[in-house]
Structure 1
Amino acid sequence: MRAKAMIGLWLAGLAVAQPVAANPGFAEVRAAWRPSDVIVLDRHGTPLQRVRQDKRALRLDWLRLADTSAPLRYALLLSEDRRFYQHSGVDWSGVAAAAWGNLWHSRTRGASTLTMQLAGLLDADLKAGSGGRSLWQKLGQTWSASALEKQWRKDEILEAYLNLVSFRGELVGLPAVSRALFGKWPQGLNRQESAIIVALLRGPNAGPERVAARACGILRDMALDTARQQRRPPPPDATLQRDCDRASIQTRQALARRLPVVDTQAQLASHFAQKLLQQQPQAAGSVLRSTLDAPLQRFASALLQRHLLALRQRNVQDGALLVLDNASGDILAWVGSSGALSAAANVDGVTALRQAGSTLKPFLYQLALQQHYLTAASLLDDSPLDLQTAAGLYAPQNYARDFKGPVSVRSALGASLNIPAVRTITMVGPTALRDRLYALGLHSLQQDGDYYGYSLALGAADVRLIELANAYRTLAQGGLYSPPRWTLAQPPATLQRQLDAASSFIVSDMLADRSARARTFGLESVLSTRYWSAVKTGTSKDMRDNWAIGYSRHYTVAVWVGNASGEPMWDVSGMHGAAPVWQGVMDWLQRGRPSLPPTPPAGVSQRRVRYAGGEEAMRQEYFLAGTERTLITGQPRGSAQPPGIVSPLGGSIYAVDPDVPPANQRLLLHARGVAAAQWWLDGRLLGRGERLPWFPWPGRHVLELRDGRGKVVERVRFEVRGAVAKPGTQRPARVG
């Protein structure tokens, strides 16, 4: 009688209970679902990468009921709601059993149906507190469940429940728990796995032993119910116990580990996605269509890993790769690391600072050509060179440790000779080169040109792969610059002229000339392609960095190989480290697509040149208008350094020693290549002559070297520190 009274009270409460809010429709609930990730798609709509944004809960994409396994659905209904397809939201038989159990203080499964549980998930006011649901919450839950059954189909109720229910910790929804515990999608769950997952519903954060015991009970119920439906004897106890033992082992293993939750097929561009979301923050559940191409990304990543595996015996661990579309600037591929091969897989080699090596030389020669200091046919002296710098004597060496003598600019760039490059930067100046590189987007060059000095010609500065790649793309575009594009939603950037079109064309032609590379690399190498391409390699000091950056008419490909730790490689140059990957990616891109040589722009003419001294073979050569020559004679450029101040060096700091007699302390002012040299210090004539000794007076000074007509040849600033004049002494008079 008491049980009937309790049921009557329940029905009376149900009659007066009102829902907090009307139930939403199934389509509304599904449309409002948001995974905890931002999904980055490739340019064709293929998922590339998922990036976790919501740290409170881990949710994957909405799961259709048809994409769940039959054992999972069977275990769920058998354990949680056996009369799911018979009741209308409330299982009154279950209510009666629960009431009877409460009367006699016995333990029962409870009366909550899956529909009632879903009602609690949909309405925050019906959410159970730490002490469970109140009576009025239970009544509201019952009312909402009855309303849901009138509005939704049974399959919709099951589908929504499996997506919204929390299983363990932060895992929400069947896809998340299935991936986390078993590394598979729900359609592949077997009987044991299904039982373990369903066992978590009654105690999501229970210990392994309790979960295993519940899973064992579910497996027994499934086995017995199947036998009953098929009208055959129940399985032997030994069989049931064996299933329980297996489930117990699997439960402990599943709860002790944490497998990757997302699909490995959608983990192709982690470094790119992280950088993209730093630039364009997105809420969880957002979808971004990037400019990347998934097939190219997959191919480039696999090729880089295969090549690095072949170099493991040479202490090579890391690499990075970037592909740009020349016309649009679209980033087509971004491989930030070698993945599992690397001890620093999270370091993004595309944006990491690495020493540039010889990859800056094309921009040095472009600047010299544009300013008419040189032509592609000009001779440079590849012979021993010693330069005085603020840091001491600078004596650059070629990679091969030999000297070629007089070489043309074309050969010097193609063969990547160091000394001709240093002679060239003495003409254009480190500041001009640094400013040119900065204008091309190499913003990692934060210091002024004097900070880098002449070694900037050889790439003794840290740059980023993405910066270098886009600078080379600017050469490919005839000097037109725009920043890379990350998403298809971004409007195309306005092109800006940063380089002279005519000199850019000539530099590209030199980089494409396999004959010009022959002195160092031979006529046939991995840099030689069956289509038109221009490419430059680079190797930094102690073989810490390998580069290969080049372009066809349509694409720019940039590759870096080295170690993220900065540890040197063992006898690996750019030709062996980065260049094979560059060629492989470029070949893949150009398959079935022609890449013809560019047409000379206005301001470029061609002449047949001959070298009077036989330094190089006769050939056709490109010139800027007004610089044409057909006979190359005379001393190579750079064999004699330009007029200027040899000593003191700009930026130097000298110290006066108080313990040394002043007569023995003199700073030698040394000029080079100036007849009737005049020395002016701080605006006063100090003396004349190629060499002039001077007592180093404390302070900051401006020294000018002027020629016989008074024209300033060079101006330097330096400082003298140390002892000061004693009282009564006079400042030294000028000399000469």
Structure 2
Amino acid sequence: MSGAMIRRLLRHFEPLGLIVLGLLLRALTLPLPAALRPPPGGTTARSSGVQYTDAAGTLLREVRDESGARSRVADPAVAHSLLAEALVEAEDRRFRVHPGIDPVGVLRAAWHDLRPGRSLQGASTLTMQLARAVVPHRRTLMGKLEEAALALRIEASLDKDEIMLAYLTEAPFGPQLRGAEAAAEQLFGKPSVALSPAEAATLASLPKAPGQYLTERGRTRLQARRDDLLRRLHDRGRLDDVTLARALVEPLPERLAGGGLIAPHLVEAVRAGRLGPVPAGDRVQLALSLPLQARVEAAVKAQVEALRERHVGAGAAVVLDNRSGAILAYVGSADFLAAEGQNDGVLALRQPGSSLKPFVYALALEDQRIDGGSVLPDLPIRLEGEDGVFAPRNYDGVFHGPVRAREALGNSYNVPAVWLADRLGVGAVLSGLRRFGFVSLRETASHYGAALALGDGEVKLLELAEAYA
């Protein structure tokens, strides 16, 4: 080490003593977060929250907090399991000996950061990660110091086994997955104490970057991190040669893609009351059919992929029971973990285009203005509106002259539909569409004009499906 480097390092740590003193004083004033306090009445476990299941009773998600994350209190036995050891090896090797912050880790990170051309390296311990999980803060210097102070407070109040159990209960293991139990059941279909060595190492690899690993593109990186962790556990004597060999060839489960989440948009919509009143009780059974859900998810992904060259990057679908209106399948996006994948396309407002035309014809039939054989004009027309003159044209650019209503609707001609809406009165058409369930059409009739017949208004996909059902 050069003299210049030593001087830089000393200057870097001149205020270290004051910082540590300040952290200790701050830790004395911080209360233990409510999530880490014993429950009232001396009970040993908190409520598991609300369970959402499909029509057959299969668990979709278990929600214990207001964020909507699936979560379960960790089994106390897992505090001394291979999963716990794998987490220590992956995230914080000195967990059992440090007081909440790791001086060795801080020195190593500082040395790394001081070297030219090196990127910043963190020094978060498991206790600091727990502090961040129960009391989120901004990723600033002050936020990091507050996190360190809270970690010291946690270490002063809980022993290492209690901290490990709290971490396994509160830490994020994936999008909308909080705690090891929720992650183990969601990703592997079993409790954390029943995980194989490969599964335990996979789960222990997730906290570093769950949003990146639980994707199709992240599988290779996740497997590499898992295998490295397995070899380190072998080097430390926790796995024998045979167990290591078996673990290294064990494939990652298919359900890792998408974080193992099943119909996440539907569960979130129900939980948040977007589909009606929030259901009461600790178990909510939905009408969802898992086999149909899987088929619809695959269809949406395939369709979006087929249209990607046309710059289509989003898709959604919903399937209803025609008699009851119950939701049988619900896909809010092609990839829930994509950049904008958590936007729910089933409830998003979009222009429906020509899918509103049948309702215009239905209103005209209901009003006995036309029948299937009525002749409608497919000729140039000009209509005055708020935005000026509206002169509709057909998609093929051709006017077809007089056409029968059944032919105009069957060919989805634009001009006859607009002419019909104008004759019915846009106000009557708007009222009729609202009666069909298009309650998202909140503007005035003059705002939409006769172009409403062509879908010039924003509605929800769910409204469209319910109207057709």
Q: Taking structure 1 as the reference length, what is the TM-score of the superposition? A: 0.37
Q: How does 1:291-440 map to 2 (within 5 A)?
A: 291-339=287-335, 343-440=339-436
- Match of 1:403, SS state, is coil
**2:62–2:71 CA contact under 8 A, matched in 1:** no
1:188 has 2:195 as partner: yes
- Match of 1:349, SS state, is coil
1:175 has 2:171 as partner: no
1:469 to 462, 465, 469: 465
Tell me how far 1:190 sits from its aligned partner.
Answer: 2.8
Amino acid at match of 1:297: Q
Q: Give the Cα–Cα distance (whole angstroms) in 2 for the partners of residues 35 and 355 of structure 1.
A: 41
Q: Give the Cα–Cα distance (whole angstroms) in 1 for the partners of residues 69 and 388 of structure 2.
A: 60
- Match of 1:446, SS state, is coil
**2:316–2:331 CA contact under 8 A, matched in 1:** yes
Tell me how far 1:322 sits from its aligned partner.
Answer: 0.8
Alpha carbons of 1:191 and 1:466: their partners in 2 closer, same or farther (altered >3 Å)?
closer
Structure with more helix by fraction: 2
Q: Give the Cα–Cα distance (whole angstroms) in 1 for the partners of residues 399 and 352 of structure 2.
A: 23
1:46 has 2:52 as partner: no
Q: Give the Cα–Cα distance (whole angstroms) in 2 for the partners of residues 189 and 162 of structure 1.
A: 23
- Match of 1:332, SS state, is strand
- Match of 2:333, SS state, is coil
- Match of 2:72, SS state, is coil
**2:61–2:70 CA contact under 8 A, matched in 1:** no
Q: Give the Cα–Cα distance (whole angstroms) in 2 for the partners of residues 71 and 130 of structure 1.
A: 24
What are the superposed Cα offsets for residues 17-69 of structure 1, whole Å, 9 maximum, x if unpaired? xxxx9998xxxx6xx65336x4321111112234452669984377697xx89
Q: Give the Cα–Cα distance (whole angstroms) in 2 for the partners of residues 344 and 73 of structure 1.
A: 32
Amino acid at match of 1:335: V
**2:335–2:341 CA contact under 8 A, matched in 1:** yes
Q: Give the Cα–Cα distance (whole angstroms) in 1 for the partners of residues 302 and 311 of structure 2.
A: 15
1:35 to 19, 44, 48: 48
- Match of 1:130, SS state, is helix
1:130 matched to which residue of 2?
A: 156
Amino acid at match of 1:309: E
Alpha carbons of 1:407 and 1:266: their partners in 2 closer, same or farther (altered >3 Å)?
same
2:266 matched to which residue of 1?
A: 272
2:165 matched to which residue of 1?
A: 165
Structure with more strand by fraction: 1
- Match of 2:288, SS state, is coil
**1:50–1:266 CA contact under 8 A, matched in 2:** no
What are the superposed Cα offsets for residues 412-461 of structure 1, whole Å, 9 maximum, x if unpaired? 11110011111111210000000011122211111221221111111111
2:131 matched to which residue of 1?
A: none
Alpha carbons of 1:415 and 1:342: their partners in 2 closer, same or farther (altered >3 Å)?
farther
Q: CA RMSD in A?
A: 4.7
- Match of 2:409, SS state, is helix
Amino acid at match of 1:34: S
Tell me how far 1:192 sits from its aligned partner.
Answer: 12
2:286 to 284, 290, 303: 290
User: Which one has more relative contact order, counting CA pairs under 8 Å at least 6 apart?
Assistant: 2
**2:68–2:268 CA contact under 8 A, matched in 1:** no
Alpha carbons of 1:75 and 1:472: their partners in 2 closer, same or farther (altered >3 Å)?
closer
Amino acid at match of 1:350: V
**1:350–1:465 CA contact under 8 A, matched in 2:** yes
2:226 matched to which residue of 1?
A: none
Amino acid at match of 1:415: N
**2:355–2:455 CA contact under 8 A, matched in 1:** yes
Q: Give the Cα–Cα distance (whole angstroms) in 2 for the partners of residues 192 and 328 of structure 1.
A: 41
- Match of 1:365, SS state, is helix
Q: How does 1:572-583 map to 2 (within 5 A)?
A: none
Alpha carbons of 1:288 and 1:383: their partners in 2 closer, same or farther (altered >3 Å)?
same
1:727 matched to which residue of 2?
A: none
Tell me how far 1:270 sits from its aligned partner.
Answer: 1.2
Tell me how far 1:297 sits from its aligned partner.
Answer: 0.8
Q: Give the Cα–Cα distance (whole angstroms) in 1 for the partners of residues 402 and 236 of structure 2.
A: 86
Amino acid at match of 1:170: E
Q: How does 1:432-451 map to 2 (within 5 A)?
A: 432-451=428-447
Amino acid at match of 1:366: A
**2:346–2:461 CA contact under 8 A, matched in 1:** yes
Q: Give the Cα–Cα distance (whole angstroms) in 2 for the partners of residues 162 and 132 of structure 1.
A: 6
Q: Give the Cα–Cα distance (whole angstroms) in 1 for the partners of residues 53 and 431 of structure 2.
A: 37
What are the superposed Cα offsets for residues 170-191 of structure 1, whole Å, 9 maximum, x if unpaired? 3497636879999994433439
Alpha carbons of 1:57 and 1:272: their partners in 2 closer, same or farther (altered >3 Å)?
closer
Q: Give the Cα–Cα distance (whole angstroms) in 2 for the partners of residues 74 and 168 of structure 1.
A: 8
Alpha carbons of 1:35 and 1:330: their partners in 2 closer, same or farther (altered >3 Å)?
same
Tell me how far 1:217 sits from its aligned partner.
Answer: 12
- Match of 2:465, SS state, is helix
Amino acid at match of 1:358: S
Tell me how far 1:264 sits from its aligned partner.
Answer: 6.0
Tell me how far 1:327 sits from its aligned partner.
Answer: 0.9
Alpha carbons of 1:408 and 1:348: their partners in 2 closer, same or farther (altered >3 Å)?
same
Amino acid at match of 1:165: L
**1:51–1:273 CA contact under 8 A, matched in 2:** no
Amino acid at match of 2:265: H
Q: Give the Cα–Cα distance (whole angstroms) in 2 for the partners of residues 266 and 368 of structure 1.
A: 48
- Match of 1:339, SS state, is coil
Q: Give the Cα–Cα distance (whole angstroms) in 1 for the partners of residues 56 and 467 of structure 2.
A: 27
Alpha carbons of 1:299 and 1:391: their partners in 2 closer, same or farther (altered >3 Å)?
same
Q: How does 1:104-143 map to 2 (within 5 A)?
A: 130=156
**1:380–1:420 CA contact under 8 A, matched in 2:** yes
Alpha carbons of 1:424 and 1:63: their partners in 2 closer, same or farther (altered >3 Å)?
same
**1:179–1:262 CA contact under 8 A, matched in 2:** no
Larger Rg: 1 or 2?
1
User: Gaps (5+ residues) in structure 2?
Assistant: 1-39, 87-153, 172-177, 205-228, 245-254
1:505 matched to which residue of 2?
A: none
Tell me how far 1:464 sits from its aligned partner.
Answer: 0.8
**1:165–1:173 CA contact under 8 A, matched in 2:** no
Amino acid at match of 1:44: A
Q: How does 1:643-658 map to 2 (within 5 A)?
A: none
Amino acid at match of 2:269: K
- Match of 1:423, SS state, is helix
Q: Give the Cα–Cα distance (whole angstroms) in 2 for the partners of residues 181 and 355 of structure 1.
A: 37
**2:187–2:259 CA contact under 8 A, matched in 1:** no
% of aligned pairs identical? 34
**2:62–2:72 CA contact under 8 A, matched in 1:** no
